[in-house]
Copies of this chain bind each other. A is one copy, B any other.
């Protein structure tokens, strides 16, 4: 059983968070999900709806997987030392640190991606990739795995990355079964990325 900390902050992007959690959430025998935030309680998404953080950062320990969504709120969180400190603390214990969309800028700013390959949102590429010059940013990639760091491109790409992550942990068959159950057309090639061209990045 792996414990997942799914990180909330004001202005998080709904699908960045809940696409991956849907895929993990179908296997409650293997993954236990906890929503965490700087303070426990309601946290408003960028679109408005609020989710409930169960644990505050200071009460978090022993998580195996940390999932960091993006969203408009990342522009504030990039300078939130409590967020960056939490990511560093969680990284020391975690097997996997994963981000979706502009969630990668928080991992990058914390220094965790220094010297690593990573990707991020294509629509906000210039800003997101400027968050750290020490990261080897990959413009054309649905997702990138480099050691314990899994970073995906924008929003829906997080679903494909999560299925690949589940395949790495539990085998292809498991990921295929989940995609089929979710009636999701899984893009299982990490190099499939038509959106890089749409945004003029390749």
Contacts and interface: CB of A to CB of B under 8 A. Distances in A.
Interface of A: 6, 13-15, 17-19, 21-22, 24-26, 28, 32-35, 42, 45-52, 54, 121-123, 153-157, 159, 180-185, 187, 194-195, 198
A171 B6 CA distance: 35
Contact of A21 (B42, B49, B183): B49
Nearest to A31: B47
A22 B49 contact: no
Contacts of A34: 48
A182 B182 CA distance: 18
A155 B198 CA distance: 27
Contacts of A17: 18
B155 A184 contact: yes
Nearest to A44: B52
Contacts of A183: 121-123, 153-157, 195
B51 A51 contact: yes
A189 B46 CA distance: 29
Contacts of A15: 18-19, 22, 182
Contacts of A48: 25, 28, 32-34
Contacts of A28: 47-48
Given A15-B19, A154-B181, 14 more contacts: A14-B22, A17-B18, A19-B19, A22-B155, A51-B52, A123-B180, A123-B183, A155-B181, A155-B182, A155-B184, A156-B182, A156-B184, A157-B183, A180-B195
19 contacts: A6-B49, A14-B22, A14-B25, A15-B18, A18-B19, A19-B19, A25-B46, A25-B49, A26-B47, A32-B48, A33-B48, A34-B48, A42-B52, A121-B183, A123-B181, A153-B183, A154-B183, A183-B195, A185-B185
A108 to B, nearest CB: 19
